[in-house]
Amino acid sequence: MSSLKQENNFENIPYGLLISAVYNNQKKAVVLKFYDPASEMIFLWADKSGHKPYCYSKLAIEDIPTNISERDDVLEIIPVERVNILEDKTITVSKILVKDPLAIGGTQTNKSIRNLIETWESDIKYYENYLYDNQLIVGKYYKIENEHVVPFNLKISDETKLSLKNMLWDKLDNSNLPNAGEFEDHIAQWADLLNQPIPKIKRISLDIEVETETGRLIIPDPKLADKKVTAIGVEASDGLKQIFVLRKSGVEEGINELLPDVKVVFYDENKEKEMISDIFELIQKYPLLITYNGDSFDLPYLYNRANKLGITKEKNPLYMMRDSATLIKGVHLDLYRTMSNRAFQIYAFGQKYT
């Protein structure tokens, strides 16, 4: 069974952990991804508020060039007041609302307004802008009531409350802070957020091997995906350890020296399509997929290879973005950037990763 619930099928749904947000081009809306700890499933929720992509310009409305103001993808331009923090004053700016995030930024052409005039907040990814505007925090619990996203704060433990009291609240009474009450409110909010329980998310990791020419160390191009996927290894949080191997004529299987809990499944040389289809079916049973450099290689390669082999889009759980691939409904975590962080390498992992 898939780990994903159908989106927008609920009047009231159980609380869930907000773990991701994406822009859905077909729905023309941001889709939120929540993890339900009870069922270990992800459910999706498409925005119904009518929130639209936008950016700001300091030009007056009448000074906005007509090649922008009269475009079909520009919905409206309205005056709004915003605080100029650098000058510490309120100013009036023009808010340009559009149909499509690419009308704001994301292209190198005149399709993107930020390439035509000086703009503000045009370099923020639209789904992030949506989260900021709606004060939604990834990693916080919410529930949906009457088609609205509502915070759902789980109570923090008595032990945590006592620790806060001993470390902070008792000392604030004797502090010289100009507004100890306001400081206490902010600390309480952060303490409540950071002490929300973290569920054990059901997850699976994946790594692929691709056919290479003997004696050549050329990395296969994921855009071309013209080489066979020869093996796929997975390990999951529920104990699953499995390797999918494509047989090759003239190559012996050899002796299995793997641990006894690792299952090996062989596919005939002409069954690569079936092997990839089986992998797609498997990863859809897990809400979280973990890879190392999967953004740039493993997932784009699987996506394009599946297309070459004739696997239908309905059975392909992946989709391509401009420079990478990810899951349509689940959540993909690429550890490459995390492990490349020097602070993580040195302090968190004792230089075990380089």
Tell me the pLDDT of the chain averaged across its residues: 89
**What pLDDT, on a 0 to 100 scale, did the predictor assign at position 11?**
45
- % pLDDT > 70, the chain: 91
Cα-based distances in Å from 110 to 82, 119, 195, 253:
27, 14, 46, 56
pLDDT value at residue 197: 86
pLDDT confidence of residue 157: 77
Does the pLDDT of residue 216 top 80, yes or no?
Answer: no
CB contact set of 149 (below 8 Å; sequence gap of 6+):
32, 45, 134, 136, 142, 143
Q: Which residue has the tokens 């007509």?
A: 66
Q: Give the tens place of pLDDT for each residue, 145-170.
A: 888 899 998 887 778 777 776 766 66
User: CA-CA distance, 289 to 280, in Å (whole number)?
Assistant: 11
Q: How far does the chain reach from its first CA to its final CA, in angstroms?
A: 38
263 in helix, strand or coil?
Answer: strand
Residue position matching structure tokens 């289809």? 277
Amino acid at 71: R
Residue 171 pLDDT: 65
Write the pLDDT tens digit of every residue in 44-79. Answer: 999 999 999 999 999 999 999 999 999 999 999 999
Q: How far is CA 164 from the centre of its chain?
A: 33
pLDDT tens for residues 94-111? 999 999 999 999 888 999
pLDDT above 90 coverage of the chain, percent: 64
- pLDDT (tens digit per residue) in 263-315: 999 999 999 999 999 999 999 999 999 999 999 999 999 999 999 999 999 99
Q: How many CB atoms lie within 10 A of CB 196?
A: 17
pLDDT of residue 73: 96
pLDDT reported for residue 255: 83
Cα 205–Cα 207–Cα 212 angle in degrees, nearest 5: 175
| Residue 9: predicted pLDDT | 47
Smallest CA-to-CA distance from 56 within 64, 48, 47 is with 64
Q: What DSSP string runs through 55-116?
A: EEESS-GGGS-HHHHT-TTEEEEEEEEEEETTTTEEEEEEEEEESSGGGTSS-SSTTSGGGT
Q: Highest mean pLDDT: which of 11-20, 30-39, 332-341?
A: 30-39
CATH topology of domain 4-48+134-151: OB fold (Dihydrolipoamide Acetyltransferase, E2P) (2.40.50)
**Three-state DSSP class for 183?**
helix
The total of other beta-carbon atoms located within 10 Å of residue 294's CB is 25
Q: What is the pLDDT of residue 95?
A: 98
Whole-number pLDDT of residue 123: 95
Give every CB contact of residue 136 below 8 A, 6+ residues apart in sequence: 18, 21, 32, 130, 142, 149
Q: What homologous superfamily does CATH list for 203-348?
A: Ribonuclease H-like superfamily/Ribonuclease H (3.30.420.10)
- What is the pLDDT averaged over residues 206-232? 90
**Distance separating alpha carbons of residues 212 and 300, to the nearest angstrom:** 17
Q: Given pLDDT bands bounded at 50, 70 and 90, which one contains residue 91?
A: very high
How many helices and strands, by DSSP H and E, does the chain display?
Answer: 9, 17
